[in-house]
Amino acid sequence: MRVVFLGAPGVGKGTQADRVTSKFNIVKISTGDLLREAVRNQTPLGREAKSYMDQGKLVPDSVVIGLVRNKLADPSSRNGFVLDGFPRTVAQAEELGKVLASTHRQLDRVVNFQVSREDVIKRLSGRRSCPKCQATFHADFAPSKKGAACDRCGETLVQRSDDRPEAIETRLKVYEEQTAPLIRYYRDQQLLSELDGSGPVEAVFEALSKVLTPYGTT
């Protein structure tokens, strides 16, 4: 099974990707994880990525695509994969298509997780983190047992500035503008499945499994 998950920040697709990997015995490919791993292992691409990050610049597409290409060539992805957070643009989607075609593979499905704007704001604006030990909590879904203080170390929890409602509105707007062409691209290729991502994790996973089961053995 070879799938891509699309969805705004805070729709819960990372959690669903983790579940899908264990149910269907495939790997999750997250560009954030690949970047961190490459930097840690000081691979050539990792060193290149770090030189941009050290200057506070965005890591260019060529590096990100190189990391994805290496991962897709790795035997661990032979049984299938779920790409989480990539591609983000039509240009990246076209590159992905070429990389897969060069190894005689293609995508089975692209799942677009849809959640209402209010839900996303509720999920993201409830996030709290500990500035001391980096533990994370959610005011509604995973609160600290000590209320406004950290469960683990007692430090006062903080809200990241980009999790404030105004900042979330901006992030969502940017996301929608950036990915609308990508969604059209995959719809035109008849690969797109829209999925209602609101509601409990379990219910979303059940609906997602129905969408993906036909591709379980590819």
Q: Which stretch binds Zn ion (CB under 5 A): 105-113, 114-122, 123-131, 194-202?
A: 123-131
Return the range that interacts with Zn ion (CB under 5 A); candidates 23-31, 87-95, 154-162, 166-174: 154-162
157 binds Zn ion (CB under 5 A): no
Please name the residue that has the structure tokens 């790795």: 74
Min separation Cβ 9 and Zn ion, Å: 23
Residue 14 in tokens: 């990372």
- 204 part of the interface to Zn ion, by CB under 5 A: no
Q: What is the DSSP string of 144-191?
A: -TTTTB-TTT-PBPB--GGGSHHHHHHHHHHHHHHHHHHHHHHHHTT-
Neighbours of 200 (CB within 10 A): 8
Between strands 127-129 and 109-114, the pairing is unpaired
Question: CB-side exposure of 14: number of CA atoms within 13 Å?
Answer: 8
Q: How far apart are CA 35 and CA 78, in angstroms?
A: 21
Catalytic residue among 13, 109, 122, 128: 13
CB of 117 vs Zn ion, minimal distance in Å: 31
150 binds Zn ion (CB under 5 A): yes
User: Which is catalytic among the residues 19, 23, 50, 88?
Assistant: 88
Residue 153 as a binder of Zn ion (CB under 5 A): the answer is yes
Q: Where do runs of H (alpha helix) occur along the chain?
A: 13-24, 31-41, 44-54, 61-73, 90-101, 117-125, 165-188, 201-212
Query: Which one among 36, 132, 160, 210 touches Zn ion, defined by CB under 5 A?
Result: 132
**Looking only at residues 29 through 58 of this chain, which bind Zn ion when binding is defined by CB under 5 A?**
none
155 binding Zn ion? (CB under 5 A): yes
Based on the shown chain and the rule CB under 5 A, indicate whether residue 174 belongs to the binding site for Zn ion.
Answer: no
| 148 is a site residue for Zn ion (CB under 5 A) | no
Task: Provide the annotated active-site residues.
Answer: 13, 88, 127, 160, 171
